[in-house]
Structure 1
Amino acid sequence: MKQDSCRRCGNELQVNRKCDICNKENQFYCDECGYETIEQIHFECMMNGLKTTSITN
């Protein structure tokens, strides 16, 4: 899921966010130009989140 380089300037991307459920990287940013990737949602984590939400409500 990690993108190694920025699509705008080519510099290495840094981790911006991690998944609340599995703690894997799911969004990245570039220190050089400020480019930020869209947040990627893991299908398995989304399904686990829905199960947890429906059980607690």
Structure 2
Amino acid sequence: MKQDSCRRCGHELEVNTKCKICNEANQFFCHECGYLTEEQIHFKCMMINMDNSLLSN
């Protein structure tokens, strides 16, 4: 997921959070207007996380 500019004001977005599995950006934040994008969940990473949860039980 890559977003270069804010949908509200057009300013550049900064990475807010990264995926715990692949370390790719999955949520962005605009310091100009405070807009926070929705967190994107990578299907592949979600499946890996589910597999790890099942193995640890």
Range class of TM-score, shorter chain? over 0.9
1:19 matched to which residue of 2?
19
Aligned-partner SS, 2:11: coil
Inter-partner Cα distance in structure 2 for 1:36 and 1:2: 14
Per-residue deviation, 1:2? 1.1
Please list every run of 5 or more consecutive structure 1 residues that lacks an aligned counterpart in the other structure: none
Identity of matched residues, %: 65
1:46 matched to which residue of 2?
46
TM-score normalised over the length of structure 1: 0.98
Q: Spell out structure 1 runs of 4+ moving beyond 2 A.
A: none
TM-score normalised over the length of structure 2: 0.98
Please list every run of 5 or more consecutive structure 2 residues that lacks an aligned counterpart in the other structure: none
May I ask how many residue pairs the two structures share in their alignment?
Answer: 57
